Amino acid sequence: MEAQTATATRWVIDPTHSEVQFKVKHLMVSTVTGLFTQYEGSLEMAGDDFEGAKIAFSADVASITTGNEQRDGHLKSADFFDAEQFPKLTFISTSMKKTGDDTYELIGDLTMRGVTKPVTLKAEYGGQMQDFYGQTKAGFEVTGTVKRKEFGLMWDGVTEAGGVVVSDDVRLVLNIQVTKQG
């Protein structure tokens, strides 16, 4: 008989109380915010601390919205995400290390448009609370920056004056609430 290992605690994203946003500079003078409305994810941890947790996340690219139907269509097109050919954006963690009382360095593989690259994100732990239904909830704000061109989102526009239309840097801001399972 094999030795028993510690049972992992599994948490799943509560999409009703979470937001998955990105922010990108437009014309280098203002920021456009977009979000994904359809996504799922889980977190598994072995002990009482989130350090070392394993995280899996995916978002449906077709659920992207910026509040502008024409822009959303362009983002879903082959110029950017190519939602038809690459319907999912995914993140699989490789490391979650505690960096402070309530902060973690989250490293993992981000896949967009069929390209997988390692990314480093900051996760700020917001604490735990039991809701009205007796479920244990925990919250995190996850932030970081990725370069869209590294993932094959190559579309570029230049104004007549030579200005960049869309920056390469994309800021990620995820406010995630997870529900403890079992």
Domain boundaries of the chain, sorted by first residue = 9-180
42-93 tens-digit pLDDT: 999 988 889 999 999 999 999 999 998 998 998 899 888 899 999 999 999 9
pLDDT of residue 167: 73
CA 100 from centroid of its chain's CA atoms: 21
Integer Cα distance of 13 and 147 in angstroms: 25
Question: Topology of 9-180 in CATH?
Answer: Lipocalin (2.40.128)
Q: What is the pTM of this model?
A: 0.88
Q: Please enumerate in sequence order all residues whose Cβ is within 8 A of that of 57, keeping only pairs 6 or more positions apart, or say none.
A: 13, 39, 40, 41, 90, 91, 92
Integer Cα distance of 98 and 107 in angstroms: 12
Integer Cα distance of 33 and 143 in angstroms: 14
Q: Taking 60 as the threshold, does the pLDDT of residue 130 lie above it?
A: yes
Among residues of the chain, what percentage have pLDDT more than 90?
Answer: 69
Q: Please enumerate in sequence order all residues whose Cβ is within 8 A of that of 38, keeping only pairs 6 or more positions apart, or say none.
A: 59, 60, 62, 63
79-121 tens-digit pLDDT: 888 999 999 999 999 999 999 999 999 999 999 999 999 999 9
